[in-house]
């Protein structure tokens, strides 16, 4: 892929080549947009950079010979603009993965990060090393799992990109390398970007140092339940759509609908209440009808939903109290 030097600038070149930087001159030449993505997203996720190595990484693009003169000024502007975000992301404990964290610990104890044997020997002494303030093992597990997925996707995309449009400098990944498995390629890159042999040790004899999702079944279950909840009910943070507007009809239409409902109750099939209800409605209508229209109000003028007057009908269950007959003595 790229030169095997473990200097921070060469690690950034490997990331840029993986993301599709032009390699026509032999070394990756990223675009200004790709430079910002590498500084703010990729390097803080995949690469361990010792303290004080940030300026060389930025200079390798902004002022080095890996970029053609036409792009150099624009990239230098992007690098200067992204410098605060890059420093913040590299030092943010929330971006730590197991590999980046143990690489920093190994450097603290004086290990040669380019020597797999020294890394293996020094790693045994880091059992029970405290985590940074505010960082829990579950945080490192989740961030490492996300980094593994992102790196596997980047490798797959790079292989497909070169297969569809072969570059003049040759493919970044050979068919034989891909046939061995994307996981092996990702582990090799992690070793190159953090510490030699570290990925193999954390996946093998020192797997307890870097527990994966299997060590946190309650978090896996909670994540699965959250996915199901979102599938059924949607995102609770999204605002609910407004209810459909209810069209209110005129008062006359509502009154006529009420009258029609009452008249249905007075039909024959609703006996024994129908006869009493019809009788009450008929008597009320005849009693309420005026003998002659009032001169102050024309006959055609309606004062309400209907000229009928309704009164409460007697209950069919109401019975008369029995009268007591005097007894004869």
Domain ranges of the chain: 1-91, 96-236, 251-284
What's the CA gap between 81 and 99, in Å, rounded?
28
C-alpha 321: how far from chain center: 74
What's the CA gap between 329 and 326, in Å, rounded?
9
pLDDT at 279: 57
Measured distance between the N- and C-terminal CA atoms of the chain, rounded to whole angstroms: 129
What's the CA gap between 288 and 286, in Å, rounded?
6
What's the CA gap between 32 and 79, in Å, rounded?
8
Q: Is the peptide bond before 319 cis (omega within 30 degrees of 0)?
A: no
Q: Report the sign of the C-alpha dihedral through residues 222, 223, 224, 228, in that order.
A: positive
Helix, coil or strand: residue 277: helix
pLDDT at 129: 85
Please say whether the beta carbons of 203 and 144 come within 8 A.
no
pLDDT at 278: 54
Phi (first) and psi of residue 53, to 5 degrees = -95, 0
Q: What count of Cα atoms within 13 Å lies in the side-chain half-sphere of residue 2?
A: 28
What's the CA gap between 315 and 318, in Å, rounded?
5
Which residues, including other chains, have CB under 8 Å from residue 147's CB and lie 6 or more apart?
Answer: 45, 46, 97
CB atoms within 10 A of CB 281: 19
Helix, coil or strand: residue 166: coil
What's the CA gap between 88 and 95, in Å, rounded?
10
pLDDT at 233: 74
What is the DSSP-derived secondary structure letter of residue 326?
P
- Written as tens digits, the pLDDT of the chain (329 aa) is 433 445 556 777 788 888 888 887 777 788 888 888 988 999 999 998 877 676 676 666 655 445 556 677 788 888 888 888 988 998 888 899 999 999 999 999 999 999 999 999 999 889 888 888 888 888 888 899 999 999 999 999 999 998 998 888 888 898 888 888 999 999 999 999 999 999 999 988 998 888 877 767 777 777 777 777 777 777 777 776 676 666 656 666 777 787 887 777 766 555 555 555 555 555 544 444 455 554 554 444 444 444 444 444 444 444 444 445 555 54
């Amino acid at each position: 892929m790229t030169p095997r030097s473990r200097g921070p600038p060469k690690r950034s070149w490997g990331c840029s080549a993986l993301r599709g930087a032009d390699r026509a001159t032999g070394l990756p030449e990223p675009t200004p947009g790709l430079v910002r993505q590498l500084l703010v997203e990729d390097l803080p996720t995949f690469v361990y950079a010792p303290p004080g190595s940030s300026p060389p990484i930025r200079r390798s693009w902004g002022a080095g010979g890996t970029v053609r003169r036409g792009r150099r000024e624009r990239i230098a502007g992007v690098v200067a603009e992204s410098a605060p975000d890059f420093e913040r992301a590299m030092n943010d404990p929330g971006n730590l993965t197991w590999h980046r964290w143990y690489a920093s610990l190994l450097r603290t104890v004086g290990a040669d990060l380019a020597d797999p044997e020294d890394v293996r020997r020094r790693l045994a002494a880091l059992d029970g090393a405290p985590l940074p303030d505010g960082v829990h093992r579950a945080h490192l597990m989740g961030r490492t799992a996300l980094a593994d997925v992102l790196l596997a996707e980047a490798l797959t995309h790079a292989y497909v990109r070169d297969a569809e449009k072969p570059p003049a400098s040759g493919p970044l990944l050979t068919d034989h390398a891909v046939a061995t498995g994307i996981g092996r390629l990702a582990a090799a890159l992690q070793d190159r970007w953090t510490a030699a042999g570290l990925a193999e040790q954390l996946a093998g004899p020192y797997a307890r140092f870097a527990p994966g999702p299997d060590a946190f079944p309650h978090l896996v279950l909670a994540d699965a339940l959250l996915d199901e909840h979102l599938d059924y009910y949607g995102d609770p943070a999204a605002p609910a759509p407004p209810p459909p507007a209810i069209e209110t009809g005129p008062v006359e239409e509502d009154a006529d609908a009420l009258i029609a409902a009452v008249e249905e109750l007075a039909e024959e099939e609703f006996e024994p209440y129908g006869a009493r209800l019809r009788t009450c409605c008929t008597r009320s209508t005849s009693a309420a009808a005026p003998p002659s229209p009032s001169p102050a109000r024309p006959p055609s003028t309606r004062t309400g939903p209907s000229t009928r007057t309704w009164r409460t009908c007697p209950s069919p269950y109401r019975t008369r109290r029995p009268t007591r007959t005097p007894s004869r003595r």
